[in-house]
């Protein structure tokens, strides 16, 4: 499939998706959200892809927010539809993807950009990265999951401060507050992302999928995460990866997962 706003590059079992709108600081418009949805969908159904890295083109921005020109004149109903479509097509979709997604934050991650990074399964950042949810300065609130995922990651108090002041965190502050796992120089960002992704690809894809589902269950209303863990743990026993993993352990060799 040909894309206008994103670039795809696969090396062995790792797919890198680069949001490529440098003149707009990689801002998310509806077309880009749809392209990302299609790329993530295809990758998730491709058995050769075992980990996904999402990043932005250039050195200034991961994603500097949503494309405000597209919704500046929306009414109440259109605004609600915009948020719901974004959740369904990209943000909730990425969070629940069975293939692990690493966000490599290479610059500004603001508004929808930070929300995309937070929807990913974990985040790393370059030293020049800055992260925030500035929506209240535009008379609106985060609409792509920011009010829900940010408190999960940094705590309610810090999330309230960030959202209400519209202040940005530096990369080091983001690490201190649990928003990102690692901070490295710009030139080291993708190599680190690929190193982490490579470690992931050596493990059982089916087990990782069950683990993602179980961890996410803890944050869903009305769902008992412990019961999901018990169920998913049991399901693992019926997979080829379990047979291979335990057999390899007993035979004192490295497993070769399908």
Residues designated catalytic: 115, 135
Name the 3-class secondary structure at 46: coil
How many helices (H) and strands (E) would you count in the chain?
11, 10
Report d(CA 177, CA 61) in Å as an integer.
21
Short-list 152, 29, 27, CA closest to 85: 29
Helix, strand, coil share (%) of the chain residues, nearest 5 = 50, 15, 35
Residues making up the chain, counted from first to last: 258
Greatest C-alpha distance within the chain: 65
Count of beta carbons in the 10 Å neighbourhood of residue 162: 24
Which two structure tokens, joined as six digits, stand for 207? 């087990």
Which two structure tokens, joined as six digits, stand for 244? 């291979």
């Amino acid at each position: 499939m040909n894309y206008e706003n994103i670039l795809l590059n696969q090396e062995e079992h790792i797919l890198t998706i680069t949001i490529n709108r440098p003149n707009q600081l990689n801002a998310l418009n509806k077309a880009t959200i749809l392209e990302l949805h299609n790329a993530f969908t295809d990758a998730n159904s491709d058995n050769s892809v075992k980990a996904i890295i999402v990043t932005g083109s250039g050195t200034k921005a991961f994603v500097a927010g949503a494309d405000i020109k597209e919704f500046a004149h929306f009414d109440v109903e259109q605004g609600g539809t915009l948020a719901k479509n974004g959740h369904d097509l990209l943000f909730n979709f990425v969070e629940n993807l069975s293939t692990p997604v690493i966000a490599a934050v290479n610059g500004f991650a603001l508004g929808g950009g930070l929300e995309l990074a937070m929807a990913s399964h974990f985040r790393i950042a370059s030293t020049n990265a800055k992260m925030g949810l500035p929506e209240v300065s535009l008379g609106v609130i985060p609409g792509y999951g920011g009010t829900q995922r940010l408190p999960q990651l940094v705590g309610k108090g810090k999330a309230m401060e960030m959202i209400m002041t519209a202040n940005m965190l530096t990369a080091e502050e983001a690490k201190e507050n649990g928003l990102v796992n690692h901070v490295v120089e710009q030139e080291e960002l993708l190599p680190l992302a690929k190193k982490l992704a490579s470690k992931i690809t050596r493990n059982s894809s089916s087990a990782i999928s069950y683990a993602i589902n179980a961890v996410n269950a803890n944050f869903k209303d009305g769902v008992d995460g412990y019961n999901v863990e018990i169920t998913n743990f049991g399901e693992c026993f019926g997979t080829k990866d379990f047979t291979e993993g335990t057999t390899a352990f007993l035979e004192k060799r490295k497993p070769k997962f399908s």
